[in-house]
A and B are shown apart, each in its own frame.
Chain A
Amino acid sequence: RKEVEQDPGPFNVPEGATVAFNCTYSNSASQSFFWYRQDCRKEPKLLMSVYSSGNEDGRFTAQLNRASQYISLLIRDSKLSDSATYLCVVNPYAGNNRKLIWGLGTSLAVNP
């Protein structure tokens, strides 16, 4: 089993749709979780850290389910500019984020 698994998609959704991505991780001791966004041929950029209690930032909501070892990202009211690859990132180490384990990414295309 891969350390971090994501459905690669692509997800094709119309503007205004709600879309959800899930990501599973294999190491139950994992400490920190993140969603990064990566545009084509650009560097990854942090979208959200994922907290145990779940967190929301505008149209984006991240959830963590430790019992089932998955994290999710919900995007509401999708915009054309949301089209990108969304990378699930897990830090299996306690204390700091020195080595992040990355999923392959989920591709999202928001269509007019």
Chain B
Amino acid sequence: DTGVSQDPRHKITKRGQNVTFRCDPISEHNRLYWYRQTLGQGPEFLTYFQNEAQLEKSRLLSDRFSAERPKGSFSTLEIQRTEQGDSAMYLCASSPGLAGVADTQYFGPGTRLTVL
């Protein structure tokens, strides 16, 4: 399967614990995005990388959240001191970095986080 992959698919943690998620984009896609989605809502943009550079962060991304893409390939999203409000589906997407409409974002299966 050469699509976007995410690991783990499900994570249950206790409030106050740290969690880290991994995303492997489609190979040769230079853009990578993180979104968060809660039930009944559309995905909310969190952050975006062009290669290894983090170019944009949503104000939704509090100090407890950090994302990296050290070699411009896979990315990690870490949440420190998790809160119950962090419970959501965390979606990763990648795109080839083309101009305009052609730059379609392809999504991974998501990591479903439950904070108890």
**Residues on A facing B (Cβ under 8 Å):** 4, 8, 31-32, 34, 41-46, 49, 51, 87, 89, 95-105
Interface contact B100-A98, CB-CB below 8 Å: no
Q: A31-B100, A98-B33, A99-B45 are in contact. Are A43 and B108 (CB under 8 A)?
A: yes
Which of B14-22, B36-44, B66-74, B75-83 lies at the interface? B36-44
Per the bound structure, the CA–CA distance linking A99 and B99 in Å amounts to 13
Q: Which 9 A-B pairs have the closest CB atoms?
A: A102-B42, A43-B107, A97-B103, A49-B101, A32-B101, A98-B48, A102-B43, A104-B42, A99-B45
| Contact sample, A vs B, 23 pairs, CB 8 Å cutoff | A31-B100, A32-B101, A34-B101, A43-B107, A44-B107, A45-B107, A46-B104, A46-B105, A49-B101, A87-B43, A96-B31, A96-B99, A97-B103, A97-B105, A98-B48, A98-B56, A100-B45, A100-B105, A103-B42, A104-B40, A104-B41, A104-B42, A105-B42
Query: Which chain B residues border A97 with CB–CB below 8 Å?
Result: 95, 100-101, 103-105
**Residues on B facing A (Cβ under 8 Å):** 31, 33, 40-45, 48, 50, 55-56, 91, 95, 97, 99-101, 103-110, 112
B3 to chain A: closest CB distance in Å?
10
Query: Which chain B residues border A89 with CB–CB below 8 Å?
Result: 42
Q: Who on chain B is nearest to A102 by CB?
A: B42
Query: Which chain A residues border B97 with CB–CB below 8 Å?
Result: 96
Query: Which chain B residues border A100 with CB–CB below 8 Å?
Result: 43, 45, 105
